[in-house]
Amino acid sequence: MSLKEKVEEIIEKEIKPALMADGGSIAVMDVDEENGIVKVQLLGACSGCPMSTITLTMFVERHLRTKIPEVKKVIPV
């Protein structure tokens, strides 16, 4: 399973449902497998939320890095 497939699976099964509970969502835009960088777009209520930076780093990035050690950074696009 590629890094992108692992990331998409965790996002779909674990992260997206949590964000959807608050009216938001997330989409994987790109995964740089060589450098471990995941580019995501926060959608719905998350896209304009002042807490989106915290959501991205404290929830999305932390969760992905815990589950997939190859992930080094998550950045918004």
Would you state the pLDDT for residue 47?
Answer: 86
For the chain, where are the E strands, in sequence order? Answer: 24-32, 37-44, 73-76
Would you state the pLDDT for residue 9?
Answer: 97
Could you tell me the pTM of the whole model?
0.93
The whole-angstrom separation of Cα 20 and Cα 6 is: 20
DSSP tag of 29? E
What's the average pLDDT block by block, 10 residues per block, for the chain (77 residues)? 96 96 95 97 90 91 96 95
Residue 38's nearest CA partner among 14, 7, 62 is 7
Give the tokens for residue 64: 């992905």
Sketch out the chain's domains with CATH numbers.
3-76 (3.30.300.130)
Would you state the pLDDT for residue 10?
Answer: 97
